[in-house]
Amino acid sequence: MTQHSTGTSITFDRATKTYPGAAAPALDALDLEVEAGELVCLVGPSGGGKTTALQLVNRLVDLTSGDIRIGDRSISDQSAIELRRTIGYAIQQSGLFPHYTVAHNIATVPTILGWDKERIRTRTAELLELVGLSPVETWLSRYPAQLSGGQQQRVGIARALAADPPVMLMDEPFGALDPITRVAVQDEFLAIHRAVGKTTLFVTHDIDEAIKMADRIAILKPGGKLAQFGTPSEVLSNPADDFVAEFLGSERGLKRLALTTVGEIVPGRSDRASAETAQWPDVEATMTLREALSVVSAARAEGAIVHKGGNRLGEVSLHDLIAPPVAVEDREGVRT
């Protein structure tokens, strides 16, 4: 099995960036601790400084004041180029080199680091398997232009993981994908993240993506100030201020329901009268409460019957769906 280095924490210590000629800072004294192995989403409207925050970490942008540490080591302790080779970096539109094959793209950083050919070949094959592009031989010698957007993004993720960096930076990596591909790649990335445990800083402007992906969400507001930092459940339950509440949108109660799957709340087979449940629609255990609610609402029913792989797990009532009895607050336990 593939060996992966475990993640390392990222600490923002009053990190501030003021661009030359700008009156106000793009990022204002950001204090943020991303724990080892954690996936933190930076969200906010444009002008919130989220991409700036990300690019400060790999020094594509230089700090005006404050510090950022990876593990115990300040990013200014080493040369920017050396630093970047230890950080995975994936961006929107994948940023794949069009004149490189898939194999060559993935091998970018290992080649720079001077790995021998055999090691690079093995690693490339492992990574393609990991991101779900198999059989590997089919993909190695293709060019990015021959891949769909979702496939390109998978290669982009493989490339970022190539040298097994402890830290990953992702700048709206799925921003250009169509909704269906996007959901698929998000799911795959979450699975990869759980498997490899890289500390990941993930920029997105899409709050739904953040709610789905993040262990914790950092919401930045215009002027580059941190508005709130917390788990999706905390942020949705207790927005810190009006800005956060507005940013989360008027459906934040429903979004909170998207944090829990039906399978997590299903109470087991009940002794409900079959006459009562006869008209209830079927839902899959992997559906979120929000999705199940939508199904129930469409069927004008009072509840739903939960299935998992063809087996009937039990029933959930409308009341269970909108006021889930358990599991929402345990969500973090489920994720780690």
CB of 85 to other proteins, least distance (A): 3
For other proteins, the closer of residues 113 and 191 by Cβ is 113
For other proteins, the closer of residues 147 and 305 by Cβ is 147
For other proteins, the closer of residues 163 and 211 by Cβ is 163
Distance linking the first and last C-alpha atoms of the chain: 21
Q: Contacts with other proteins: how many residues (CB under 8 A)?
A: 30
CB 107 within 8 A of CB 114: no
Q: Does 1 bind other proteins (CB under 8 A)?
A: no
For other proteins, the closer of residues 98 and 309 by Cβ is 98
Please give the Cα distance from 28 to 12 (Å, whole number). Answer: 11
Site for other proteins in 147-206 (CB under 8 A): 159, 169
Report which of 315, 296, 318 is spatially closest to residue 307, judged by C-alpha positions: 315
Q: Does 138 bind other proteins (CB under 8 A)?
A: no
For other proteins, the closer of residues 133 and 305 by Cβ is 133
CB of 69 to other proteins, least distance (A): 19
Q: Does 145 bind other proteins (CB under 8 A)?
A: yes
For other proteins, the closer of residues 96 and 130 by Cβ is 96
Residues 6+ apart with CB under 8 A from 130: 2, 158, 161, 192, 195, 196
DSSP 3-state of 120: helix
Please give the Cα distance from 102 to 105 (Å, whole number). Answer: 5
Local structure of residue 77 (DSSP, 8 states): G
Q: Does 275 bind other proteins (CB under 8 A)?
A: no
Would you give the distance in Å from CA 163 to the centre of its chain? 20
CB of 157 to other proteins, least distance (A): 13
Strand order in the sheet with 27-34: 27-34, 10-17, 65-70, 73-74
CB of 96 to other proteins, least distance (A): 8
CB 95 within 8 A of CB 123: no
For other proteins, the closer of residues 92 and 204 by Cβ is 92
Strands 39-43 and 216-221: parallel
For other proteins, the closer of residues 170 and 219 by Cβ is 170
322, two tokens: 């909108």
Compose the 25-64 pattern: x for residues touching other proteins by CB under 8 A, - for all others. Answer: ------------------------------x--x-x----
CB of 215 to other proteins, least distance (A): 23
Would you give the distance in Å from CA 98 to the centre of its chain? 26
Q: Does 143 bind other proteins (CB under 8 A)?
A: yes
Among positions 112, 191, 195, 326, the unique one binding other proteins when judged by CB under 8 A: 112
Q: Over 138-158, what HEC string results?
A: HHHCCCHHHCCHHHHHHHHHH
Site for other proteins in 91-110 (CB under 8 A): 91-93, 95-101, 108-109
Residue 279 CB burial class (10 angstroms; 0-12, 13-18, ≥19): exposed
DSSP 3-state of 201: strand
Would you give the distance in Å from CA 273 to the centre of its chain? 42
CB of 137 to other proteins, least distance (A): 18
65, two tokens: 């004041």
For other proteins, the closer of residues 54 and 287 by Cβ is 54
CB of 145 to other proteins, least distance (A): 4
Among positions 1, 3, 21, 82, the unique one binding other proteins when judged by CB under 8 A: 82
The footprint of other proteins (CB under 8 A) covers 55, 58, 60, 81-87, 89, 91-93, 95-101, 108-109, 112, 143-146, 159, 169
